[in-house]
Structure 1
Amino acid sequence: MEASESQAVKAAIVGSAPERQEELEELWEEHSPQVNQVSDKEGFTLEAGSFGLILFDHKTMCNLWLFGFSTQEAFNLFLPYLYLSQITKIPFNPHILTEEDSKSSHALRIDEIIKAIRALKEVGSIENITWPSSVPKPYSGKPSDLNGSMAFDLLCMVAAYCFLHEFRHVQIRNEGKVLDIHEEEFECDSYARDFLLGKIDEYSNTTGYDKALLINKRSMAMALASVLLYVITPDAYWNGSSTHPAISERIKNISSALEVEDDDYFWTYLSCALISVVRIDDIEIQNMVVVDQKSYALFLIQSIEKHLTSQSARTQ
């Protein structure tokens, strides 16, 4: 069972960064990570354990899948609003839609998926929720429609990024490196990012694929992977814990290292992923003019931080 799981993880990584296949094979042989699927339970599992173990459960992978499709629908629904606000200087609020858009297929699908994501937080098994009718089941192959195909490609890269992060934990332990716990998390994030982007020039030159588009696509996947942490982490730990830094700091750390323009689709997609979180957790957002796509994404991150601060104050 473990061998097939390891092969699946390696395939996801190689599929996301084909230019690193030979290097990955060497690293995999050197560090011998043991990838195991564990039983579902309350909460989520995606972590590096002792003895080179990388553990995940089916529920976490399903949650990732659902969140990817929720963000894809949000991208379709909110992209026009984000750019219209930037052009017209009219304030935007993700909770306020036109009557037509509020009843659109995108909005209805988002609501259906969000209901399933919320339910996943409360149950111990994926079997205990109603699967959204608009979302294909994981492991059923790549959807043929454009939106499903885009979500599938990005989700494969998200999985690659997540497992690369955990693989770096295994490497650090094997190398005997001693890092501050938070520092190690940032190190693993940076490793996963650099693995996906570090030799992208080589891949672009070999295949003829446009470098900017390659960076854009892989960066969007990293945006989704980073924001996923809001979904699988209890909100009491969004601002950090003894083992993990604040999610907002991890997102900003990854984003600041990417060479993308302020109006790149990366920022728009990041905003749409954050809007999915805002809608899942019903977070209040102020009306705001979109000056550029980067500044609005950062505004959403600040709004989530503000929500946590006000929530903490109310419970004291």
Structure 2
Amino acid sequence: MNSNTPPREDEQVKTAVRNVLLGSAPERESELASLWSLLEPRFQLTADTHNGERLVMEAGMYRFVRFNHRVVRAFWIAGFAAWEAYRVVAETPELDPLDLKRLVELIDAFERVLESDTPELEALPKDVPEPGHYDDNPQLRAPEELATLGVGWALLHEVRHLKHQQDGDSADPDEADPTQRRSEELSCDAFATKFLLDQLVPYAQRENVSPNLVRRKRELGIYFALFAMTLMARDKWGASQSHPSIQARIDAVRALMGSQRDEVAEAIASVAFATLHTLMPGSPGIVPAPDDAGPSHPEERLCGRTNPQGNAVCS
């Protein structure tokens, strides 16, 4: 699609969105149907550049949720990057230097997708299939499914914006003080997070699977969405006129997960963010409170190792 192509909102687009959302939280099917009846959302697939914007994932005009191939492709590659950022630490013997070539390759591919006029034609790294293609290999299947969960979380975030608009409590885009706009973003993050997590226990019981494993997977999907947003906002992680800082969003989501949050999911995500930090100093991460009984700070797992420049990650 070029920039002059009208957005698509045909049955294929509707089905794709429905599959992502139902796949992310199958137990919420009736609630999704009620939301659809209430909000009457219209999902639009836009051009790779829409109204001057390259990354399109937005809600507006009380009805429309717009996204493009570029943002879906970016979330997909980011899922593989987050998984690699964890895997390389988990599989490297203690004190050995980290080989981050694969992670750098994935981030380079991610950034080419952001910058290209034809992102769908940018070659994907080895062992990264086209978005929506799922592999039987667990090392590939995990990032594929987690990236899809991340897209589902992002779409649910935009649906909440529509609810704010229709309820008349949406932030004023022309207000000089950004507080309301930032608060609305956190509200939408909270809605998406709770939608994926709040009813998972009955779902797990119906499916005869471990609730802990369902929670782990979904929390990781949420963290991977935040990892993707960290890559998208490279070097612009602070608060803006429209959004809170990425760190504030990570902190708020983690707090919302509460004491029930899965320690394994948090450990995996913590290591992924900490590894990214070695390539992008100043990037956000998962920072436990001083009295937190959760996993140890992920930077400790990297101490004694070296970054690609040959410098110690920490002393």
Normalised-by-shorter TM-score class:
0.7 to 0.9
Say yes or no: does 1:113 pair with 2:113. no
Amino acid paired to 1:123: S
Q: Which has the larger displacement, 125-134 or 172-181?
A: 125-134
Q: Deviations over 1:22-46 (max 9, x none)?
A: 1101111221111111111364111
Change (3 A) 1:127 1:158: closer
* Distance in structure 1 (CA, Å) of the matches to 2:40 and 2:87: 41
CA gap 1:178/1:113 in 2 versus in 1, 3 angstroms:
closer
Displacement of 1:193 in angstroms is 0.8
Distance between the aligned counterparts of 2:64 and 2:279, measured in 1?
Answer: 32
Matches of 2:65 and 2:279 in 1, distance apart? 28
Match of 1:38 among 43, 46, 49: 46
Check the 8 A contact 2:56/2:68 in 1, yes or no. yes
Q: Take 2:270 and 2:27, find their aligned partners in 1: how far apart are those partners? A: 29
* Structure 2 counterpart of 1:310: none
* Residue 210 of structure 1: aligned partner: 210
Correspondence 1:114-133 to 2 at 5 A: 114-127=107-120, 129-133=122-126
User: Cα distance, 1:293 vs. partner?
Assistant: 6.5
Deviation string 1:168-220 (CA, Å, 9 cap, x unpaired) is 00111112224511111111011001111111121122222111111111111
The letter of the residue matching 2:81 is S
1:61 pairs, out of 58, 61, 72, with 72
- Structure 1 portions without partners, runs of 5+: 85-91, 286-290, 301-316
Q: CA deviation at 1:280?
A: 5.3
Cα 1:276/1:135, change in 2 over 3 Å: farther
2:24 pairs with 1:16: yes
Separation (CA, whole Å) in 1 of partners of 2:205 and 2:153:
23
2:134 alignment partner in structure 1: 142
**Secondary structure of the corresponding residue to residue 48 of structure 1:** strand
- 1:122 maps to a residue whose letter is E
Deviations, residues 90-120 of structure 1 (Å, cap 9, x unaligned): xx7xxxx53xx52xxxx44323212212323
Paired AA for residue 156 in structure 1 = T
Distance 2:41 2:91 in 1: 44
Change in CA separation of 1:129 and 1:153 when aligned onto 2, cut-off 3 Å: closer
**Could you tell me which residue of structure 2 aligns to residue 266 of structure 1?**
265
Larger RCO, structure (CA 8 Å, separation 6 or more): 1
The 2-side partners of 1:294 and 1:252 are apart by 15
- Measure the CA separation in 2 of the matches of 1:45 and 1:216: 28
Normalized against structure 2, the TM-score is what? 0.78
Alignment of 1:1-316 (within 5 A): 1-2=8-9, 3-41=11-49, 43-80=54-91, 97-98=96-97, 102=99, 107-127=100-120, 129-139=122-132, 141-179=133-171, 180-236=180-236, 238-259=237-258, 264-275=263-274, 277-278=276-277, 281=280, 294-297=295-298
Distance in 2, Cα, partners of 1:206 & 1:172: 33
Match of 2:304 in 1: none
My pick for the range that moved more, 178-187 or 248-257, is: 178-187
Q: Which runs of 4+ in 1 moved over 6 A?
A: none
1:281 and 1:18 mapped to 2: Cα distance?
36
String of CA shifts for 1:123-142, please: whole Å, max 9, x gaps. 33315644212311113x21
- Taking a change above 3 Å as real, the CA distance of residues 38 and 256 of structure 1, as seen in their structure-2 partners, is same
Contact (CA 8 Å) 1:71, 1:276: kept in 2 or not? no
The residue aligned with 1:305 is none
**Offset of residue 65 of structure 1:** 0.7
Q: Distance in 2 between matches of 1:118 and 1:200?
A: 34
Counting matched residue pairs gives: 275
SS at match of 1:257: helix
CA distance in 2, matches of 1:124, 1:8: 24
Checking the alignment, whether the CA contact within 8 Å between 2:153 and 2:222 is kept in structure 1 is yes
Output one character per residue of 1:41-99: Cα deviation in whole Å (capped at 9) or x when no partner. 364111112241111111111111111011122222112569x6xxxxxxx7xxxx53x
Q: What letter is aligned with 2:270?
A: S
Question: What code does the residue aligned with 1:245 have?
Answer: P
Q: TM-score, normalised by structure 1?
A: 0.78
Distance in 1, Cα, partners of 2:199 & 2:283: 41
Tell whether the 8 Å contact from 1:16 to 1:160 is kept in structure 2 after alignment: yes
Give me the identity figure in percent. 25
Judging by fraction of residues, say which structure has more helix: 1
CA deviation string 1:239-259 (max 9, x = no partner):
111110111011011011214
